[in-house]
Amino acid sequence: MPSSAPEALRRARPALLLYLGVRALCLAVLFLWSSLAGRDARVLLAERWDSLWYVRVVEHGYDFTLTAPDGRVLSDMAFFPLLPWLERGVSALTPLGPPDAGLLVSAVAGPLAAWGIFRLVAELHGERPALFTVALWAALPVGIVQSMAYSESLFVALAAWALYATVRGNWLAAGVLASLAGLTRPVGLAVAAAVWVTALTLWRREGAPRGRMALGMALAPLGAAGYILWVGARTGSLLGYLDVQAEWGNGFDGGLAFARFAGGLLAGPGFLGGVGLLAGVALVIWLYAKGVAQRQHLALLVYCGIVVVLALGASGYFGSKPRLLLPAFPLLIPPALALARARPATARAVIGGAAAVAAVYGAFWLNGSGPP
């Protein structure tokens, strides 16, 4: 592996250029589609759904609530603080308002995430599979979220580099990055768990740097745990964060509500949608099992397993599940390994086809229901 940052960046350049090319294609199709539909693509990217809630945190602090038509009181404390902190900082240093600051954060975080994924997979499997993992992540059907003023790109950047630091045994960096990931999304606890489990499996080895490992383990959960405890103090309940999420209709029931939702589709006019949904879930489970069979690094299996369980086991926002699975990039390693062994023409056709589908679907989706 390269020993210096400039050399590492040079080695990652093809993957980064491929990532930027796919994202540019998706944005070009989105802007063309939106123009033909009489809509503003920038508004779709920066000023709808969760993006507006992050802006409210910037403008009001954690004091904004909204009463839903059914009487539920929705609080902005459901949204973790790192992205709005960065939006506030960018807005203070540039002429950009918070929504466009959010777009800038994602525009920077996306390539950083791609670079982190490349370094991590290259460390474990080599540079060719790493390139295809980055390409597949860029070309996911809901990959347009990577370019929105959402926290996904920021989270994946922090998670990928935290996992890379864990694999390399850089425990201080792993702990700090995991803590920052925990300030970005609640699933940041999956990164902390990966740090903890990996460290514990190495703890008894002769020569293990137990002091640095203990420091990394101590730091890793601080971001998520600190914010959750702060929300608890604000609401006057230790479980206050869960109460806030419950008002939003979010919870965890192990997938029972999701199963009922899929069953309702299969039993009604949405049969084909239900079949597609079950096929998607089966694919996710199969890819994870494939990673286990291929003996992926324990840190990746722990992290990805928790991300998948939380995404599929959540009891609400069923349309959000593809977006919630965006951080589960280790699922893409098995197909990336297959593409690395395939003929170049086959690999190019698969990546090109996936990019085209992502561009068209992303434009259609964002101009329609979009990511709730």
pLDDT tens by residue, the chain, 372 residues: 555 778 888 899 999 999 999 999 999 999 999 999 999 999 999 998 899 999 999 998 998 888 878 888 889 999 999 999 999 999 999 999 999 999 999 999 999 999 999 999 999 999 999 999 999 999 999 999 999 999 999 999 999 999 999 999 999 999 999 999 999 999 999 999 999 999 999 998 988 899 999 999 999 999 999 999 999 999 999 889 999 998 888 888 888 888 888 888 888 888 887 888 899 999 999 999 999 999 999 999 999 999 999 999 988 766 788 899 999 999 999 999 999 999 999 999 999 999 999 999 999 999 987 776
φ, ψ of residue 356 in degrees (nearest 5): -65, -45
The per-residue pLDDT for 58 is: 95
Domain that residue 200 falls in: 5-366
The token pair at 114 is 């791609």
Identify the CA nearest to 310 among candidates 200, 135, 191.
191
In a domain? residue 185: yes
Single-letter amino acid code for the residue at 192 = A
The per-residue pLDDT for 338 is: 97
For residue 73, give Cα distances in angstroms to 70, 208, 246.
Answer: 9, 50, 10
Identify the CA nearest to 98 among candidates 106, 110, 90.
90
In a domain? residue 348: yes
Neighbouring CB atoms inside 10 A of 169's CB total 16
Question: Which SS3 state, helix, strand or coil, does residue 66 take?
Answer: strand
In a domain? residue 372: no
In a domain? residue 371: no
Q: How far apart are CA 190 and CA 184, in angstroms?
A: 12
Neighbouring CB atoms inside 10 A of 330's CB total 27
Q: How far apart are CA 324 and CA 339, in angstroms?
A: 25
The residue whose two tokens read 């606890």 is 189
Identify the CA nearest to 363 among candidates 126, 95, 49, 147.
147
The residue whose two tokens read 């929300």 is 231
For residue 116, give Cα distances in angstroms to 158, 161, 299.
Answer: 8, 5, 15
The per-residue pLDDT for 268 is: 83
Identify the CA nearest to 151 among candidates 184, 177, 125, 124.
184
Q: Where are the alpha helices (DSSP H) in the chain?
A: 5-36, 41-46, 50-60, 82-93, 98-125, 127-138, 152-168, 171-182, 188-202, 210-219, 222-235, 240-247, 256-266, 271-293, 298-313, 321-324, 333-341, 344-366
The per-residue pLDDT for 314 is: 84
How far does Cα 79 stand from its chain's mean position? Answer: 14
Question: Which SS3 state, helix, strand or coil, does residue 268 take?
Answer: coil
> What is the number of structural domains in the chain?
1
Identify the CA nearest to 290 among candidates 238, 338, 350, 252.
338
Containing H/E element for 75?
Answer: strand 73-75
